[in-house]
A and B are shown apart, each in its own frame.
Chain A
Amino acid sequence: MFYREAGQFKTTYAADQALLPIRQDRYAMLVILAIAFVGVPLFAGDYWLTAILIPFLVFALATLGLNILTGYAGQLSLGSAAFMAVGAVAAYNFQLRIPGMPILLSFVLGGVTAALVGMVFGLPSLRIKGFYLAVATLAAQFFIPWLVTKVGWFSNYSASGVISAQPIEILGVPFDTPLRKYMLVLAIVALLALLAKNMVRSAIGRAWMAVRDMDVAAEVIGIRILRTKLIAFAVSSFYCGVAGALYAFAYLGNVEPDGFNLDLSFRILFMVIVGGVGSILGSFLGAAFITLMPIFLEVVLAELNAVFNLNLDPGVTSMAQLLVFGGLIIFFLIVEPHGLARLWQITKEKLRLWPFPY
């Protein structure tokens, strides 16, 4: 009844091609942005900001990056965490080595460095396909953290390879409280998400999708495969790199290279799958789901423990978490292989006909 585009006539091509062509969608987006930029800062406590919202946004950004590569360009990668590590370490070094370096520029340069490294590891994708490529990206996953740990220069010769991110300061304003960090991360993520949304509906995005659907056919109709794939790797790694920099600077503060391990890569891949392969919205939904679920499970198990007096030791609860996590992933894939974004789409279709579906 409320969600219907009847009567909304478009008189220009620009209006027809708008990001959100339906008026209700535009309002909904405005409400979401208002909540994120105004509502959350007013009401959210420090725990919510530091433990849930900031990691959610950082992971959403990394998920966006992987979704561009896997969901849009069809190149399965298991090395996202490595590219995050490159971004974090590069941003740290730009900040450390060049006096007076603006921190935002360090983030961007961190992303650019990650993009360059990503292109190097993307080169084999021209010849290697499918799972062979996935396993090949594991080379990046194991090689990069090793390199960062071994070469002391990267971590400024700290004993354990841990990098301690510098405090964030932009135009003399220190971003030291959780709230300010949240606002910074939110602004960057919102900007990059908008960019990604526009990128995937432009010429390059269409080329990615053509390559994903069938690369030989794409080549036949004149898409340059190498260039398209390398751009996908570069853009994806850029997003992961910026996410890594934010992970280090705004979320954790101190990062050891081993923190960017295979588990993290898998988590990001889970976010892509659960959220929806090839969907910008899905990246956010997936990141929210995977970030919130362990916290939720922990709370539920603690409650169960208290109510039934089970006296579970922490080892058992962490095992149970693993069990439930794995089970949920399988359950999700069986029930909705196209992810949360697809569920949302179905809801929207239903909403258009509500309350009189034929």
Chain B
Amino acid sequence: MSFFFEVLIGGLLAGVMYSLVALGFVLIYKASGVFNFAQGAMVFFAALTFVGLQEKFALPFWAAFGLALAAMIVLGILTERIVLRPLVNQPQITLFMATIGLAFFIEGLAQLIWGTNVRRLDIGIKDEPIAAVLERFDIVISSFDLIAALAAGVLVTVLAVFFQVTRVGRALRAVADDHQAALAVGIPLKQIWAIVWSVAGFVALVAGLMWGARNGVQFALTFVALKALPVLILGGFESVLGAIVGGLIIGALEKLAEVYLGPHIGGGIEGWFAYVMALMFLLVRPEGLFGEKRIDRV
């Protein structure tokens, strides 16, 4: 039984890592209706910039973090300016395609600047079991996972407060509801989009640091985005809470399936299991757990 709990908790904590990436998607989808496929590339770009800065100029953690954040903000503003602004009022699929192009562009750019080597990222958190829990309950929980979960928790709280309380946050929600109505009451749409993309860049940086510290900073980091997609459809594209809950569910079930189901059908199921599960789930509830229910009218 303790093994079961170990797998479950490991899965839940891994799910938090998925949620971190999924959050970035949700932010942009909420505010601009764009399904931003480049989020994975942004995670990669952020992590690579951070490591590159640290390596090249031997910067301390916070300086590198600040500079990487600045780079992400510039990237966000440029994206709004160059890619999104000319595409206002285009169908969603066109915007989606543009973000795929953007993903290629960012991946190329990141590696052109910083090289293609796999980098080790050390943010000073040890990835080893917490002794107290191990003794007490006989369950292996990595302190790293726990801190990642904490970071996600803090991030979500900050974002929730930002969305609910601040002036900009309210404007963001207004824009998400209806672009034109928001424009009509005098909300500067362009600025809002630039802000959203910058915030998404910040989330990408946090996710990039966590994932990079775990797996090393390498091109495979861009595939993290693919892991976040089932989380999104499970939780619903429009919901921050959905991203978290979806991540937890996917993470836990994926780990459990890998351990208990995997050996029976040949292993290597983590690539598709989350998708098939999300698909099954969608058949019952097509708009995801916390997504907005759509009413179709002729």
Neighbouring A residues of B283 by C-beta, 8 Å = 124, 127-128
Q: Do B112 and A323 touch (CB < 8 A)?
A: yes
Proximity bits, A186-220, B CB within 8 Å = 1, else 0: 00000000000000000000000000001111001
Contact B105–A326 (Cβ < 8 Å):
yes
CB atoms of B226 and A262 under 8 A apart? yes
Instruction: Give the dominant DSSP class at A's interface.
Output: helix
Chain A, range 312-358, C-beta contacts under 8 Å to B: 315-316, 319-330, 333-334, 337
A216 to B287, CA, bound (A): 17
Contact of B102 among A76, A127, A150, A330 (CB under 8 A): A330
Across-interface contacts of B90 in A (CB, < 8 A): 333, 337
A131 in contact (CB, < 8 A): yes
Residues of A with C-beta under 8 A to B91: 337
Chain B interface: which of A13-21, A23-31, A105-113, A133-141?
Answer: A133-141
Q: Is A146 an interface residue (CB 8 A)?
A: yes
Given A132-B287, A323-B112, A326-B103, decide whether A146 and B268 contact each other with a Cβ distance below 8 A: yes
B175: min CB distance to chain A, Å = 19
- Evaluate whether A266 and B100 lie within 8 angstroms (CB atoms) in the complex, with A131-B92, A143-B276 already known: yes
Task: Provide the main secondary structure of the chain B interface.
Answer: helix
- Chain B positions within 8 Å of A315 at CB level: 111, 115-116
- Across the interface, A136 reaches (CB within 8 A) one of B96, B108, B282, B287, namely B282
Which B residue sits closest to A121, measured CB to CB?
B279
Query: Which B89-136 residues sit within 8 Å CB-CB of chain A?
Result: 90-94, 96-98, 100-109, 111-112, 115-116
Q: List 25 A-B contacts (CB under 8 A).
A: A76-B93, A131-B35, A132-B287, A132-B288, A134-B96, A135-B229, A136-B282, A146-B271, A216-B296, A220-B298, A266-B100, A273-B93, A277-B93, A315-B116, A319-B108, A322-B105, A322-B108, A323-B104, A325-B104, A327-B101, A330-B83, A330-B105, A333-B97, A334-B83, A334-B98
Residues of A participating in the B interface, judged by any CB pair closer than 8 Å = 70, 76, 124, 127-132, 134-136, 138-139, 142-143, 146, 150, 214-217, 220, 262, 266, 269-270, 273, 277, 315-316, 319-330, 333-334, 337
List 15 extra interface pairs beyond A323-B104, A327-B105, CB under 8 A: A70-B93, A127-B282, A128-B283, A130-B92, A131-B237, A135-B229, A135-B230, A319-B108, A320-B112, A323-B105, A325-B108, A326-B108, A328-B101, A330-B105, A334-B86
